[in-house]
Amino acid sequence: MNIHEYQAKALLRDYGAPVSDGRVVLRAEEAKTAAGELDGPLWVVKAQIHAGGRGKGHFKEADAGDKGGVRLARSASEAAEEAKKMLGRTLITHQTGPAGKQVNRIYIEDGSGIQTEMYLALLVDRQSSRISFVCSTEGGMDIEEVAARTPEKILSFSVDPATGYQAFHGRRIAFALGLTGQQVKQCVNLMGTLYKLFVDKDMEMLEINPLIVTDKGDLKCLDAKMGFDGNAVYRHSDIAALRDETEEDPKELAASKYDLNYIALDGEIGCMVNGAGLAMATMDIIKLFGSEPANFLDVGGGATKEKVTEAFKIITSDPNVKGILVNIFGGIMRCDIIAEGIIAAVKEVGLQVPLVVRLEGTNVELGKKIIADSGLNVIAADDLSDAAKKIVKAVKG
Ligand code: GDP
Ligand code: MN
């Protein structure tokens, strides 16, 4: 689960990390008052969307102006004007995709004088099963680009959970970033604070890009991106309350309401599978036979007819889906229930694309009979490769 920059900065502020003063604005009428509450002489007006690259982005609508989603202003009224131009408009960045994202919130901040911009992140490193720090002197730009062109400018190391964060970790980062004097101590403190926040709130990712040295020589977090482990959010009601459903993929949101494990992907074959392992195998075999999955979808072990119907609706609502592969192994799940769910869903939403169904396990004969008797145009398959070959053939012609 991701949150907005202004929410992430409120958490940082609570934990004592250095951030600028700022106000969030939801409606154009609030912009003037919000900007007036900040001191100046520089204001930063920032579009709040769950995507990075806002500064280098652009707006779809001409009346939003030709600047990106992060704008500097020299007066409170100019800041309010910029906020009004961006609210309700569509910001396109390299992370939003070509459709962009509507800007429903603006963060107006006290502007900082910048000496240097650096990069800092904490993340869960799956290889070492530890929390890792990543830092670089190349801040303010795409870390992917730095990693590709000048990997030697990135320092990364993990923290032993038995010792937790130690001052030497912070000093290592400080020296890698070329910090001196009081900045070293600030860095040691800040890294400890970030590590604690990361662990306390069950984060998956915390990125400060840029972390800056201000014109006064102090460290400050100028941007903040946080991602939380969705499976742990139930332990943090304060984090759960920050969820902004308008930022989420509507299909993933619908799926979460029905307790379906669904992740949208870029391919053309919609998959409905039970069990995460079988879902992974199904995606692999679709690729093996030359196509790409449009989603990962695990309907779970004990899915009901309603859940199957909902899953089917979510898959068919994706315009990229050119064919559907249902691959179910009925263990706890009964194949006849799946068959009934598919038929109910098709009756409700129709079927515009080829559908291959492979059923195996409990009540498989009954399941196959229900589908055969339904008169639906379903291609039956017997095993995993047979099913994948048939759906790829049906889609590619
Ligand atoms: P992003 O483009 O979505 O990553 O948004 P950021 O918050 O990182 O802002 C983009 C860039 O705007 C930063 O790298 C800075 O160069 C600039 N910027 C942001 N805040 C300030 C500020 O307070 N003062 C100045 N001078 N520049 C800022
Ligand atoms: Mn940034």
* 251: confidence class by pLDDT, cuts 50, 70, 90: confident
Predicted local distance difference test score (pLDDT) of residue 333: 79
**Mean pLDDT over residues 94-102, rounded?**
91
> Does 57 contact ligand 1 (Cβ within 6 A)?
no
Max mean pLDDT range (3-7, 125-129, 229-233): 3-7
Contact 50, 247 (CB under 8 A): yes
Q: Which of 29, 47, 19 is CA-nearest to residue 111?
A: 19
Q: Which of 12, 44, 136 to probe ligand 1 with, by most ligand atoms within 8 A of CB?
A: 44
> Could you tell me the distance, in angstroms and rounded to a whole number, from the CA of residue 52 to the centre of ligand 2?
6
> Starting from the edge strand earliest in sequence, which strands make up the sheet with 22-25, in order?
22-25, 106-110, 43-47, 70-73
Predicted local distance difference test score (pLDDT) of residue 219: 98
Give catalytic status of residue 144 as yes or no.
no
* Ion ligand 2, residue ranges at CB < 5 A: 209, 223
> Could you tell me the distance, in angstroms and rounded to a whole number, from the CA of residue 126 to the centre of ligand 1?
30
Assess whether pLDDT exceeds 80 at residue 179: yes
Which tokens in the block code for residue 81? 């004007």
Assess whether pLDDT exceeds 90 at residue 382: no
Percent of the chain past pLDDT 70, that is, above it, reads: 100
How many whole angstroms separate alpha carbon 366 and alpha carbon 331? 14
Predicted local distance difference test score (pLDDT) of residue 59: 97
Contact 354, 391 (CB under 8 A): yes
* 342: confidence class by pLDDT, cuts 50, 70, 90: confident
Among the residue ranges 83-87, 292-296, 377-381, the one predicted with the least confidence is 377-381
More confident residue, 249 or 103: 103
Predicted local distance difference test score (pLDDT) of residue 259: 85
> Does 139 contact ligand 1 (Cβ within 6 A)?
no
**Mean pLDDT over residues 19-40, rounded?**
96
* 309: confidence class by pLDDT, cuts 50, 70, 90: confident
* 164: confidence class by pLDDT, cuts 50, 70, 90: very high
List beta partners, residue 324: 270, 355
The pTM of this model reads 0.84
Assess whether pLDDT exceeds 90 at residue 176: yes
Predicted local distance difference test score (pLDDT) of residue 254: 87
Contact 214, 222 (CB under 8 A): no
Predicted local distance difference test score (pLDDT) of residue 11: 98
Among the residue ranges 48-52, 256-260, 269-273, the one predicted with the least confidence is 256-260
Tell me the pLDDT of the chain averaged across its residues: 94
Assess whether pLDDT exceeds 80 at residue 390: yes
Predicted local distance difference test score (pLDDT) of residue 97: 84
Q: What is the 3-state secondary structure (H, E, C) of the chain?
A: CECCHHHHHHHHHHCCCCCCCEEEECCHHHHHHHHHCCCCCCEEEEECCCCCCCCCCEECCHHHCCCCCEEEECCHHHHHHHHHHHCCCEEECCCCCCCCEECCCEEEEECCCEEEEEEEEEEEECCCCEEEEEEECCCCCCHHHHHHHCHHHEEEEEECCCCCCCHHHHHHHHHHCCCCCHHHHHHHHHHHHHHHHHHHCCEEEEEEEEEEEECCCCEEECCCEEEECHHHHHHCHHHHCCCCHHHCCHHHHHHHHCCCEEEECCCCEEEEECCHHHHHHHHHHHHHCCCCECEEEECCCCCCHHHHHHHHHHHHCCCCCCEEEEEEEECCCCHHHHHHHHHHHHHHHCCCCCEEEEEEECCHHHHHHHHHHHCCCEEEECCHHHHHHHHHHHHHC
Predicted local distance difference test score (pLDDT) of residue 189: 98
Give catalytic status of residue 119 as yes or no.
yes
Atom nearest to 51 CA in ligand 1: 3
**Mean pLDDT over residues 8-21, rounded?**
98
Predicted local distance difference test score (pLDDT) of residue 346: 87
Structural domains in the chain, sorted by start: 21-110 (3.30.1490.20), 114-240 (3.30.470.20), 250-396 (3.40.50.261)
